[in-house]
């Protein structure tokens, strides 16, 4: 019997046993921990693999693809049976193309695959994020230059002691947002990450103008060449977002080739912003809906 468990800080060591060198943000512990909510995201172990369960008020229970070095074919079967016993159709979420190919080879014809565009991760070249070079990033570079030319700022690496200031800046940023429907969960997730900063494998950097924090970013390495950015917020100052993005990459991640800036959640404004930075690729994700018995 699979036991679903809540994700807490003690779960970090469990995730570490199974997840290595994955640039898919769905399988990152910090990401799942901060967005776990009140049991909306849980995890379980079976057949030497780890799987992440998702559930919401209007979303029935579903599960990630099992990860780890165990027997993934048996894990898929047992996860499918677990969900079917709840009188639900098994759906495996947030599969990469490689996972789709493996699942189809393990259980040919048993699943229908549906792309989830809102969940796709945006992958950028770190060097481009630092320099904003090229015609396609001209508008971003203009904002960057405006800030650099008009504000005497200092970049600092942040510590746990700086997290209350980060939370205060985030609250001010939220107050300026017109789209309020996701604010509650966003506030909870941000507070959870910042409050647990010292216990997580993350780094943070901030911009200060006249000793006041006006922008910050938080991220961590997920593979040998890729960094995942969890949070980035700035005061309503032209160019502040562009500069914290650039400075954070330049100071904390110069040895990494790529930056994963996560998904757009289907929000049009966020999608346009992420596309405007010209990702080198989208890490596509698919949902696998079971349409036939597993044999």
pLDDT (tens digit, 0 to 9) for every residue of the chain, 295 residues total?
899 999 999 999 999 999 999 999 999 999 999 999 888 999 999 999 999 999 987 889 999 999 999 999 999 999 999 999 999 999 999 999 999 999 999 999 999 999 999 999 999 999 999 999 999 999 999 999 999 999 999 999 999 999 999 999 999 988 776 655 666 788 999 999 999 999 999 999 999 999 999 999 999 999 999 999 999 999 999 999 999 999 999 999 999 999 999 999 998 989 999 999 999 999 999 999 999 999 8
Query: How far is 93 from 263, CA to CA, in rounded Å?
Result: 14
Are the CB atoms for 190 and 231 separated by under 8 Å?
Answer: yes
Which CATH code fits 121-262?
3.40.630.30
Hey, is 248 helix, strand or coil?
A: helix
Q: What is the residue-wise DSSP string for 16-76?
A: HHH--S---GGG-HHHHHHH-TTTTEEEEEETTEEEEEEEETTEEEEEEPPBSSS-HHHHH
Name residue, tokens 């090229």.
134
The strand ranges marked E within 58-190 are 59-64, 91-95, 111-115, 121-125, 153-158
Looking only at the bridges linking them, the beta strands covering 212-221 and 203-209 are: antiparallel
Query: How far is 65 from 32, CA to CA, in rounded Å?
Result: 14
Name residue, tokens 């060591």.
13
Query: How far is 131 from 288, CA to CA, in rounded Å?
Result: 39
In 206-290, which residue ranges form alpha helices assigned H by DSSP? 240-252, 268-276
CB count, 10 Å around CB of 95?
24
What confidence score (pLDDT) does residue 278 get?
Answer: 97
CB count, 10 Å around CB of 61?
16
Give 5-119+285-290's CATH code, choosing from 3.40.190.10, 1.10.3720.10, 3.40.630.30, 2.30.140.10.
3.40.630.30
pTM: 0.94
Residues of the chain with CATH 3.40.630.30: 5-119+285-290, 121-262
Please report, for the chain, how many H helices and E strands are present, in that order. 10, 14
Hey, is 207 helix, strand or coil?
A: strand
């Amino acid at each position: 019997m699979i036991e679903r468990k809540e994700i807490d800080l003690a779960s970090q060591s469990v995730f570490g046993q199974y997840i290595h060198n994955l640039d898919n943000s769905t399988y990152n512990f910090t990401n799942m921990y901060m967005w776990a909510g009140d049991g909306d995201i849980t995890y379980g172990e079976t057949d030497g693999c780890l799987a992440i369960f998702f559930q919401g008020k209007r979303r029935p229970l579903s599960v990630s693809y099992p990860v780890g070095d165990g027997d993934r074919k048996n894990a898929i079967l047992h996860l499918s049976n677990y969900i079917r016993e709840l009188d639900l159709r098994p759906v495996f979420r947030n599969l990469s193309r490689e996972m789709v190919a493996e699942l189809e080879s393990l259980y040919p014809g048993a699943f229908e695959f549906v792309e989830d565009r809102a969940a796709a991760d945006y992958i950028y070249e770190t060097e481009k994020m630092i320099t904003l070079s090229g015609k396609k990033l001209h508008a971003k570079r203009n904002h960057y230059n405006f800030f650099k030319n008009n504000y005497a700022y200092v970049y600092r690496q942040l510590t746990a002691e700086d997290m209350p200031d980060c939370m205060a800046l985030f609250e001010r940023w939220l107050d300026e947002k017109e789209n309020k429907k996701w604010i509650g969960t966003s506030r909870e997730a941000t507070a959870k990450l910042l409050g647990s900063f010292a216990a997580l494998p993350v780094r943070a950097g901030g911009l200060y103008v006249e000793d006041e924090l006006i922008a910050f970013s938080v991220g961590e390495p997920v593979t040998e060449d890729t960094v995942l950015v969890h949070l980035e917020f700035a005061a309503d100052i032209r160019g502040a977002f562009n500069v914290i993005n650039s400075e954070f990459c330049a100071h904390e991640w110069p040895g990494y080739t790529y930056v994963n800036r996560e998904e757009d959640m289907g929000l049009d404004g966020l999608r346009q912003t992420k596309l405007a930075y010209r990702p080198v690729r989208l890490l596509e994700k698919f949902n696998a809906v079971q349409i036939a018995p597993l044999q």
